[in-house]
Amino acid sequence: MSMQVSPAGVALTKSVEGCSLHAYPDPATGGAPWTIGYGHTGPDVKPGMTITQTQADSLLNTDLARAGLVVNSLVHVYLTQNQFDALADFTYNVGATNFRNSTLLRLLNSGDAKGAADQFSRWNLANNKVMPGLVKRRAAERELFLTPDAA
């Protein structure tokens, strides 16, 4: 069964990304990749670009759906909705290749959800620097991952 990011998962990404309707440079590099909306990057994002709130929401929904497909394809154990949402946000931020190659995924697929949860905090670097925003984001992902779904 294929899971999808829930409204709570979308809310997590919105809260940790923030929204900018004007393209801005990557905080770690001061340049590429350029980012717009809720952390959307790609060849379509150029310096000076502006989008509407509706476009920002649409990009986020598309990007999170793509991250969800990655999680669905790589995770081979049962996930709660909260675990799925946390992993989709993580994948959205670090990328599919990093998630695919992560110890977090290996531990999760081996049945060690607690060990996997403890891996989130290791992903706090950008350009070899600890980024306070990533420290907060990983803590939020880990907290959601460990929160049982509401009955």
Residue 23 has pLDDT above 90, yes or no: yes
The catalytically annotated residue of 17, 63, 85, 141 is 17
pLDDT score for 128: 86
pLDDT score for 28: 76
Domain 7-143 of CATH type 1.20.1600.10 = no
pLDDT score for 11: 95
**Domain-by-domain residue ranges, the chain?**
7-143
**Span 73-131, pLDDT tens digits:** 999 999 999 999 999 999 999 999 999 999 999 999 999 999 999 999 999 998 888 98
- Does the active-site annotation cover 143? no
pLDDT score for 85: 98
Residue 26 has pLDDT above 90, yes or no: no
Calculate mean pLDDT across residues 123-141. 92
pLDDT score for 79: 97
**Span 42-64, pLDDT tens digits:** 999 999 999 999 999 999 999 99
Confidence of residue 1 (pLDDT cuts 50, 70, 90): low
Residue 136 has pLDDT above 70, yes or no: yes
pTM for the full model? Answer: 0.93
pLDDT score for 2: 87
Neighbouring C-alpha atoms within 13 Å toward the C-beta of 120:
25
Exposed/middle/buried for residue 48 (C-beta within 10 Å: 0-12, 13-18, 19+): exposed
